Amino acid sequence: MALVKLTINNQPHTIDVDPEMPLLWAIRDVVGLTGTKFGCGIAQCGACTVHLDGAPIRSCSYPASAAAGHKITTIEGLSKNADHPVQKAWIEHQVPQCGYCQSGQIMSAVALLKQNPKPSEEDIDTAMQGNICRCGTYERIRKAIHSASTEMASAPKMPKSTPKIGKR
Amino acid sequence: MSTTPTSTATETGTSRRNFLKAAGLTGAAFALGFSSADSFASPVLNLSGQPGMGLPESVELNPYILIDKSGRITLMNPRPEIGQGTYQSIPALIAEELEVSLDKVTIRQTGGETKYGGMWSQAVGGSGSVRGGYMQMRKVGASAREMLRQAASQQWAVPIEECMAENATIVHKPSGKKLTYGQLAEVAAKLPVPKEPALKDPKQFSMLGKPMPRPDVPLKVTGQATFGIDAKVPGMVYASIERCPVLGSKLVSFDASKSLKVKGVQKAVKIERVVGKNRYEGVAIIADNYWAALQGRKALSVTWDHNQFDTFNSASFENKLRDLAKTDGVQGHNTGDFEKSFADAPNKVEAFYETPMVSHSTMEPMNALAHYKPDGKVELWVSSQGGDLVRGDVAKVLNVKPDDITVHILFNGGGFGRRITQDFATEAATLSKTIGKPVKVIWTREDDTQLGPFRPMTFSAMRGALSADGKAVALQHKVISPSIDATMNETYDKTKADDTMLEGTGDQKYEIPNLNTRYVHADIHVPLTYWRSVTSSTLAFSHECFIDEMAQKAGQDPLAFRMSMLTKDSDSKRVLTKLKEVSGWDNPLPAGKGRGIAQWEFFAGLSAQVVEVSKNKTGGITVDKVYCVIDLGTVVNPDTVKAQIEGSIAMALTAATKDGITFENGQAVQKNFDANRMLRINEMPTVEVHILAEGGPTIKGVGEPGLPPFAPALANAVFAATGKRIRKLPFDLEKV
Ligand code: FES
Ligand code: FES
C-alpha cells in the first residue's frame, strides 16, 4: 500500500492503495466517482476511458500510481451542467441506449475533437474504434461528433483581452 | 447512490385497493392486484443518484401515480430500462392520458412489489413492455385524470364536463378557475376509481407517436445514471468469485492462504451459483475493494473435479448435431403432406445450415449488491430485467418470503435476455447471508463470457420442392439443437416438439401448401437461455436463406418469389411491398455490389430488411447499407424504434460475422473482447428505418424484430454479389 496523490476533475485526492491498483478502481471504489465504467479490464472496450492531461487513456489498464501528478478528467468533470458541446450533441442525437459505454465514448470523442476539430468519417472511425457499444449506437455517435464539431467551430471564442475599438 | 426515505401511503379505502381491477388490469399479468400493506414499505431508488428526492406526504392516486401537495408528480415505471427506452415510453403512456409533461415528473422504477402484479408484471422480455402496456398504462393515467376532474368539479360545484385537464392542472373552462393536481390529489384519491375511463383520441396525443427525447439521456451523458454496478451502501464489501470455466465441475478443495495475504482481502468462502436446475460451486473472495478481491482471486488455488466435462468440445458436439440430423425428430407444425409432395415434385432443393452459440456480452458485466439483514430481510440493488424475477429467485434460493425482499432495479447496462436469469443476484444474496455484510458481487468480463448461459446454436436441415412452373409446393424445416428449456428445467419433455426451438418456422405467411417443421433434441450440459429475438435469431437465417435457394432453383428474383407466395393480404405482404419501394429493389446495382432480402414474423413482431454489400478490391465484403421496414400498427416513440433497429442490426452483424462461443476441453475458448469480438464503429453500416404504423388496435414489438432478418438478408446479399452461399455462421466478411 502506498499513498497516491491524484488530481481528479481539479480536486486533489490522497488515497492509500496498492500502487498497482488500476486507476479505474481507484476512481470508482476509492474516490467514489462511478461515471467511469468497467467493461473488460484489458483495454479492449473503452468503457473506462478518462483523460490524463487531456489525452484519452484506458483507466482499467493504467496503474493509479502512474497517474499521480497528472491532471485526470472523468465524465463528471467534463461540464457542470451537461453543456459541453459533445454532451449537447449526444443529447440532440439521443445517442445512448443502455448508456453504459457512453461515458467512455464521450471522453474519446472530446479528446478527438480537441486534437482534430474537423474530423472526417475516417478520422472518427479511427479515433472511436477502441470504444465498443454493444447497443449499436455507432451511427448516432458519428452524427453527434459531426454536430459537436460544427457547434464548436461556430461558438464565439471568448477574446483573450478586450479588443480595442477604434477607427481603421 | 442514494436511497430515499419512505412515505407511508395513507389507506384510502377500497377504491384504490380495487384500482387494478377497476382499470381492467386483472389479466394474467396483473393477477395479484394491490395490497395496501406493502404500499411503499420499500424506499424507492433514485436512478439519478441525486440526494433529497424523497416522497414526503405523497398521495397515491393509484400505485403508479403519486402526487404531493406541492404538485410534484411521480410516475412508477414497472419495466426496467435496459437501453430499449421504457424509462420514457412507459411513463409517457401514463403521462399522455394524465395530461402532464414528462419533463415535469419524476420517474421511479418499481422493484417487483406484489401490488403491481404477479410474475413478469415488472420484467422486460419478448419485446412486450410497450405492446403489453399500451392500453393498461393509458388507463392508469386516464382514470387518475378522471378522478382529478371529479375532485375539481365537486370543489367548485360545477358539472365535470366543464372541468378540463391540462398541464397538471384542472381548469374550469367557463370561469377560468384553476386547481393544480397537487391541490386536488388528496380529495381525488378518496374518490371511486372509474371503471372505464375515457381514453384520448390518438389524434389529440401530444407525446405518443412522436419522436420524444428520453429523460435518461442527460443522466447517461454526464455519468450520473446509476447502474447496478454503481450501487453503494454503507459497510459494503466487494466480491469476486472463482468458478470453474469447465462447466459442470465440482469443487474438491481450495486453499486461500495466499489470497488472505493480499492487502484488503477479508475472507474466502464457498458459494453456489444457481442457474435454473444447474448448481455450480465456486469460491468467493471478499475484500475492501474490487481490485483487492481480484488479486485475492488470482492467488487462490482450487482443485476441481471436472467429472469428464473437460472432454466436451464444440467440434464433436457439432458432429453429433449433424448425425442427429439423420433422425426424424418430433413434429412441430404440419400442413398438407410434405413427404408425398416432396417425393412427387419435379424440382427439389436441400440444404443444411449451421449457427453458433453466442454470448450476450452486455457492456455492464453481471453484478449485484445484496444485504441480508439480521432480521432475515433482504435488500438488493441490481441491474436486472425484472424486480419480480429477482424477488422470485432470491426467495426460492434463500428460502425467504418474497415480501421480505426489497429490490432496487437500477439502469441496466444492457440486457439482451441475459438479465432474465438472476444467478448474480442470488449469488450476492447468498454471500451476504454467509458473511453478514452487504456485498457487491461483480463478474469479470472473463466470467461473463465463459460461464453462460448462452444462446443455443441451431442446425437446420431444409428440404423444399417446386412445381414445374416454379411454385413452392413443399417445405420442411428440421431443427437440430440443444434446448433452452431442457438446460434450465427438470421437467423438460423430450417427446414433445420444443416450440421455443422451432420458433417462427411454422408462422411465416408464405402460402406453401405442404409445410412441415420438426425438432431433434440434442442433450447438452451447458446452460442456455434467451438471447435477443431468441431462436428466431438463428432460425430466420436458415429459413430465409433457404427461401432464396428455392427462388434460385425456380429461376426467380428473390423478392418476386416471396411475393408470389403472398397472394392473400397480410402484414408480411405489406412490409415486403414497402421494402421493395424504399430499398429501390428494382434499380440495378453496379458490378461488384449485391443486395439480399429477408423477412421474419414471430411472437415479438415482424420486420423485413434489404442488405446491400460490395466486394472489396482487396478481397472480402463490406456491408454498405441496410433498409429495414418494421410493422408496428401503433408506434409510441419512433426515435426509440429507430434506435432499436440500429442496435438489433449491430448485434445481428456481430453474431453473424464475429466469433461466437466455442468450447475446447470443456471451457469456452473466448474469454474477453479480444477473442469474442464485438462490432466496432468502423464496421457499422448505414441503417434506414421505415415504420409501418397506421394506428388502430394492433401494436407489435420493437426490441427484437429488427434482428432476425439481418443475417439471412446479408447472406443472400453475399450470394448476389459473389455467387457464394453462406450456410454456416459465423462467417468472416474478410474471407468471403
Ligand atoms: S474496461 Fe478498460 S478498456 Fe474495457
Ligand atoms: S449504449 Fe449500451 S453499450 Fe453503448
The minimal CB distance from B444 to the residues A41, A91, A135 is found for A41
B595 and B620 in a single domain? The answer is: yes
For the stretch B229-274, pLDDT in tens is 999 999 999 999 999 999 999 999 999 999 999 999 999 999 999 9
Whether residues A102 and B221 touch (CB distance < 8 A) is answered with yes
Pocket test for ligand 2, best of A95, A133, A141 (most atoms within 8 A of CB): A133
Sheet of B621-631, strand order = B593-602, B605-615, B621-631, B686-692
Provide the mean pLDDT of chain B.
92
Q: What residue of A is the nearest CA neighbor of B80? A: A98
B528 and B670 in a single domain? The answer is: yes
Please report, for the domain that includes residue B292, its CATH number: 3.30.365.10
Is residue B659 a part of any domain in this protein?
A: yes
The minimal CB distance from A100 to the residues B224, B232, B364 is found for B364
Is residue B259 a part of any domain in this protein?
A: yes
Q: What residue of A is the nearest CA neighbor of B646? A: A136
Could you tell me if the CB of A142 is within 6 A of ligand 1? no
According to the model, what pLDDT value does residue B36 have?
A: 26
Could you tell me if the CB of A102 is within 6 A of ligand 2? yes
Out of B390, B415, B442, pick the residue that ends a domain: B442
For the CA atoms of chain B, what is the radius of gyration? 27
Is residue B201 a part of any domain in this protein?
A: yes
Q: List CB contacts (< 8 A) between B413 and chain A.
A: 37, 98-101
| Number of neighbours of residue B705 by Cβ within 10 angstroms | 29
Q: Is the four-CA dihedral B286, B292, B294, B299 of positive or negative sign?
A: negative
| Number of neighbours of residue B238 by Cβ within 10 angstroms | 24
Ligand nearest to the CA of A100: 2
Out of B421, B442, B463, pick the residue that ends a domain: B442
Is residue B145 a part of any domain in this protein?
A: yes
Is residue B200 a part of any domain in this protein?
A: yes
Whether residues A98 and B364 touch (CB distance < 8 A) is answered with yes
Residue B70: pLDDT band with limits 50, 70, 90:
confident
Residue B55 has pLDDT above 70, yes or no: no
Is residue B514 a part of any domain in this protein?
A: yes
Cell for B216? 435518461
Check residues B393 and B14 and name the one with the higher pLDDT: B393
Q: What residue of B is the nearest CA neighbor of A82? A: B222
Ligand nearest to the CA of B674: 1
Give the residue from B598, B713, B597, B707 showing the smallest Cα distance to B652.
B707
For the stretch A40-89, pLDDT in tens is 999 999 999 999 999 999 999 999 999 999 999 999 999 988 899 999 99
Residue A15 has pLDDT above 90, yes or no: yes
Q: How many CA atoms lie within 13 A of B211 on its CB side?
A: 10
B493 and B565 in a single domain? The answer is: yes
Give the residue from B55, B69, B48, B356 showing the smallest Cα distance to B189.
B69
CA B439, CA B240: separation in Å to the nearest integer?
10
Whether residues A75 and B222 touch (CB distance < 8 A) is answered with yes
Is residue B9 a part of any domain in this protein?
A: no
B positions 621-650 inside 8 Å of A (CB) = 639, 643-644, 646-650
CA B394, CA B716: separation in Å to the nearest integer?
46
Kind of pairing between the strands at A11-17 and A2-8: antiparallel
Out of B413, B442, B471, pick the residue that ends a domain: B442
Give the residue from B649, B1, B81 showing the smallest Cα distance to B414.
B81
Q: What residue of A is the nearest CA neighbor of B410? A: A98
Is residue B409 a part of any domain in this protein?
A: yes
Kind of pairing between the strands at B169-172 and A55-58: unpaired
For residue B622, the CA-to-ligand 1 centroid distance in Å is 27
Rounded mean pLDDT, B498-519: 98
For residue B414, the CA-to-ligand 2 centroid distance in Å is 7
Interface confidence (ipTM) of the complex: 0.94
Say what percent of chain B tops pLDDT 70: 92
CB pairs under 8 A between A and B: 190
Q: Is the four-CA dihedral A26, A27, A28, A32 of positive or negative sign?
A: positive
Rounded mean pLDDT, B478-496: 96
Contact B352, B462 (CB under 8 A): yes
Q: Which atom of ligand 2 is nearest to the CA of A95?
A: 1
Whether residues B224 and A45 touch (CB distance < 8 A) is answered with no
Q: What residue of A is the nearest CA neighbor of B227? A: A100
Contact B729, B354 (CB under 8 A): yes
Minimum CA distance residue for ligand 1 atom 3: A43
B positions 285-314 inside 8 Å of A (CB) = 289-292, 295
According to the model, what pLDDT value does residue A157 have?
A: 61
Residue B16 has pLDDT above 60, yes or no: no
The minimal CB distance from A132 to the residues B226, B412, B680 is found for B680
Residue B32 has pLDDT above 60, yes or no: no
For the stretch B212-223, pLDDT in tens is 999 999 999 999
For the stretch A108-166, pLDDT in tens is 999 999 999 999 999 999 999 999 999 999 999 999 999 999 999 987 665 555 555 55
B232 and B217 in a single domain? The answer is: no
Rounded to a whole number, what is the distance in Å from the CA of A4 to chain B's nearest CA?
16
Whether residues B290 and A132 touch (CB distance < 8 A) is answered with no
Could you tell me if the CB of A97 is within 6 A of ligand 2? yes
Q: Which atom of ligand 2 is nearest to the CA of B362?
A: 3
For residue A57, the CA-to-ligand 1 centroid distance in Å is 10
For residue B362, the CA-to-ligand 1 centroid distance in Å is 13
Residue B48 has pLDDT above 60, yes or no: no
Minimum CA distance residue for ligand 2 atom 4: A133
Ligand nearest to the CA of A61: 1
Could you tell me if the CB of A100 is within 6 A of ligand 2? yes
Whether residues A99 and B220 touch (CB distance < 8 A) is answered with yes
For the stretch B269-314, pLDDT in tens is 999 999 999 999 999 999 999 999 999 999 999 999 999 999 999 9
Residue B465: pLDDT band with limits 50, 70, 90:
very high
Rounded mean pLDDT, B539-549: 98
CA A25, CA B264: separation in Å to the nearest integer?
13
B418 and B520 in a single domain? The answer is: no
B618 and B578 in a single domain? The answer is: yes
DSSP A50: E
Residue B440, beta-bridge partner list:
B238, B369
B215 and B235 in a single domain? The answer is: no
Rounded mean pLDDT, B706-733: 98
Rounded to a whole number, what is the distance in Å from the CA of B87 to chain A's nearest CA?
11
Residue B61: pLDDT band with limits 50, 70, 90:
confident
Contact B235, B438 (CB under 8 A): yes
Q: List CB contacts (< 8 A) between A44 and chain B.
A: 672-674
B37 and B118 in a single domain? The answer is: yes
B592 at interface of A, judged by CB pairs closer than 8 A: no
For residue A48, the CA-to-ligand 2 centroid distance in Å is 13
Vertex B447, ends A132 and B128: CA angle to 5°? 65
B436 and B517 in a single domain? The answer is: no
Domain that holds residue B468: 314-357+454-735
Question: Per the structure, how many domains does chain B have?
Answer: 3
According to the model, what pLDDT value does residue B62 have?
A: 85
B591 and B694 in a single domain? The answer is: yes
The minimal CB distance from B639 to the residues A22, A33, A94 is found for A94
For residue B439, the CA-to-ligand 2 centroid distance in Å is 26
Residue B13's SS3 state is: coil
B positions 263-282 inside 8 Å of A (CB) = 263-264
Q: List CB contacts (< 8 A) between A148 and chain B.
A: none
CA B692, CA B681: separation in Å to the nearest integer?
28
Q: Which atom of ligand 2 is nearest to the CA of A135?
A: 2
Q: Which atom of ligand 1 is nearest to the CA of A60?
A: 2
B609 and B683 in a single domain? The answer is: yes
For the stretch B406-423, pLDDT in tens is 999 999 999 999 999 999
The residue type of B535 is T
Rounded to a whole number, what is the distance in Å from the CA of A79 to chain B's nearest CA?
8
Give the residue from A72, A69, A103 showing the smallest Cα distance to A10.
A72
Optimal mutation site among B418, B676, B681, B686, interface A, most CBs of chain A within 10 A: B681
According to the model, what pLDDT value does residue A161 have?
A: 54
B166 and B217 in a single domain? The answer is: yes
Domains present along chain A, CATH in parentheses: 2-77 (3.10.20.30), 85-152 (1.10.150.120)
According to the model, what pLDDT value does residue B153 have?
A: 98
Q: Which atom of ligand 1 is nearest to the CA of A130?
A: 3
